[in-house]
Amino acid sequence: MSALDKMWISFGSMAFMFLAIIIIYLSRYKFNNKILKFVTALIAYVFMILAGIIILFVVLSGPTPG
């Protein structure tokens, strides 16, 4: 995988983290319905876990040859 591909993948991971922050904010401070709070928080935590796994992949895959 080229360095440019890794860059785009890491940008996607940062986008997941940004979405997780926004969704957690909505879940905690804007929604009053318990079910809606739970669903949005669950989605946000899934985004955060996926972002962590993606960043872990990018970091542990090492430097690119060349």
Per-residue pLDDT of the chain (66 residues; tens, 9 = 90+): 888 999 999 999 999 999 999 999 999 999 999 999 999 999 999 999 999 999 999 999 988 776
pLDDT score recorded for residue 12: 96
- Global pTM reads 0.85
In SS3 terms, 2-28 reads as CHHHHHHHHHHHHHHHHHHHHHHHHHH
- Which among 46, 41, 61, 54 is positioned nearest to 1, based on CA atoms? 61
pLDDT score recorded for residue 1: 81
